Amino acid sequence: MRNVTEILIKYRALIGIITLVVVLVLAQPSARSIVIGFFFMMLGMFFRAWSSGYIDKDRELATEGPYSLTRNPLYFGNLLIGIGIAIASNQPAAALVSAVYYLFFFTFLIVIERKRMKKRFGARYEEWARKANIFFPKIKRVTQFNFNIALYMKNREYRVLFYSLFVIAVLVVKYLKRIGFIGGISK
């Protein structure tokens, strides 16, 4: 089982890219689906960006800002982005592929991460874990805003923005081709 875990962790980005390509191939976007999907993607990008300004990976236990609401705000942001892509795809099969990926893969990663964090931070992690939801954010007022732009840049979170904009661009082009706006002129 350890080998499977190591393989999944090592190739998690590749697995995500393959899943995304399948979703984009299946996609049959409409103008409405793109707008609604983009809204969810923006929420996810915001949540990830906000989270990345609080986390100094493997050095300190992040407990403020979004980490006071959920132990996994980056994964929650990913879910919102995935929901947005699924909506924008406007295709039930694409949404199903996306849902299976998120349910399986992120559940797996959360379990692995929890073990790693418990080992690394011990009782401090346990105390914080009792206060923050495991995945979906608590609805409560956040009182400490110590967002650190240097951490955002160090974590290279801006890449998620670029990737998300690329995905939307692909869906827009696919939609424009489908309605004959691009490549629809025939002799």
pLDDT of the residue at 139: 84
pLDDT of the residue at 26: 96
117/121 Cα distance (integer angstroms): 6
- Within-domain flag for 187: no
- Within-domain flag for 137: yes
How confident is the model over 22-62, as pLDDT tens digits?
999 999 999 999 999 999 999 999 999 999 998 887 788 98
pLDDT of 2 over the 80 cut? no
Structure tokens, 140: 């409560």
pLDDT of 185 over the 70 cut? no
CB 34 within 8 A of CB 28: no
- Within-domain flag for 25: yes
- Within-domain flag for 186: no
Over residues 8-26, the mean pLDDT reads 90
- Within-domain flag for 184: no
Q: What is the mean pLDDT of the chain?
A: 89
- Within-domain flag for 20: yes
Q: Where does the pLDDT of residue 170 fall: very low under 50, low under 70, confident under 90, or very high at 90 and above?
A: very high
**φ, ψ (nearest 5 deg) of residue 133:** -60, 155
- Within-domain flag for 47: yes
What distances in angstroms separate CA 173 from CA 8, 20, 112, one per listed residue?
32, 16, 38
Number of domains into which the chain is organized = 1
- Within-domain flag for 163: yes
pLDDT of 9 over the 80 cut? no
Of 116 and 143, more confident: 116
pLDDT of the residue at 5: 75
Range of the domain at 125: 2-178
State the CATH number of the domain containing residue 120.
1.20.120
pLDDT of the residue at 38: 96
- Range from 3-7, 32-36, 161-165 that averages highest in pLDDT: 32-36
pLDDT of 83 over the 50 cut? yes
Over residues 95-107, the mean pLDDT reads 91
